[in-house]
Amino acid sequence: MSFSRDFIELSCRKGVLRFGSFVTKAGRASPYFFNAGLFDDGDSFNDLCGFYARAILGSGVAFDMLFGPAYKGIPLVAGTAMRLAGEGVNVPFAFNRKEAKDHGEGGTLVGAPLKGRVLVLDDVISAGTSVRESIGIIRKHGAEPAGLLIALDRMERGQGDISAVREVEEHYGIPVVPVATLKDLIAYLADTPELETHLAAVQAYRDVYGTHDAVR
């Protein structure tokens, strides 16, 4: 998908994707780091939400509304809903609070009532805590998770021998749709002279932690 490459390019330009020596939440020494929180201005965040909208429309996943887990999912779900509306697809959205509100309307949910098929928007899959909490909230309200959209699929093992993405798909029975994958990143590094010096390290990391089932 051409927009996957455009997304990788934007991420590198904004410093959202950085190269060097980092430690992941799983304790792995990684040659790259992805921090979606650095889409921190109007133009880049608008572009990010546009990539999410294009990934949703290209996925073929049937859904009735969007859900964004606190905290990163809150602006993401609102911005993506706006970009979808600009494409003629007007859908409701909701997000949760970390702490219940004890005045006004109360509760932990903000936005449209959760119902029908709910597509969850997040940045990455790490320990899976956000996914588990989101699906629990959706089902508690009588709705069903339709899928999970993430920015980057690192295409590496989760808790076992299969990828973290496949673990989510098998455990919850929903598709996981990435805007881009590690495969897209490697292709971009190979074609970008100023970043090609990082290619060998990223490929070596994939050789150690990658899984064949993650390849799309």
pLDDT tens digit sequence for 149-175: 999 999 988 877 888 899 999 999 999
Judged by DSSP in three states, 163 sits in strand
Q: Which residues form the domain of 118?
A: 2-214
Long-range contacts of 195-199 (CB under 8 A, 24+ apart): 195/12, 195/19, 198/19, 198/31, 198/32
Query: What is the Cα–Cα distance from 187 to 58, expressed in whole angstroms?
Result: 21
Q: Give the model's pLDDT for residue 25.
A: 77
Tell which wins on pLDDT, 103 or 17. Answer: 17
Q: Give the model's pLDDT for residue 108.
A: 85
* Count of structural domains within the chain: 1
Query: What is the Cα–Cα distance from 113 to 22, expressed in whole angstroms?
Result: 40
Q: Give the model's pLDDT for residue 8.
A: 98
Query: What is the Cα–Cα distance from 200 to 4, expressed in whole angstroms?
Result: 21
> Is 70 exceeded by the pLDDT of residue 215?
no
With tokens 């709910």, the residue in question is 118
> Is 90 exceeded by the pLDDT of residue 24?
no
CATH number, domain containing residue 14 = 3.40.50.2020
56-94: pLDDT as tens digits: 999 999 999 999 999 889 999 999 999 999 999 999 999
Active-site residue set: 101, 103
Task: Tell if the pTM clears 0.85, that is, is over it.
Answer: yes
Element holding 33 (H helix, E strand)? strand 29-34
Q: Give the model's pLDDT for residue 101.
A: 54
Tell which wins on pLDDT, 155 or 212. Answer: 155
176-201: pLDDT as tens digits: 999 999 999 999 999 999 999 999 99
Query: What is the Cα–Cα distance from 66 to 40, expressed in whole angstroms?
Result: 22
Q: Give the model's pLDDT for residue 128.
A: 63
What percent of the chain has pLDDT above 70?
A: 92
What percent of the chain has pLDDT above 90?
A: 77
User: Which is nearest to 166 in space by CA: 58, 180, 157, 209?
Assistant: 157
87-127: pLDDT as tens digits: 999 999 999 987 665 544 546 899 999 999 999 999 988 65
Is the Cα torsion angle 83, 84, 90, 91 positive or negative in sign? negative
Tell which wins on pLDDT, 212 or 46. Answer: 46
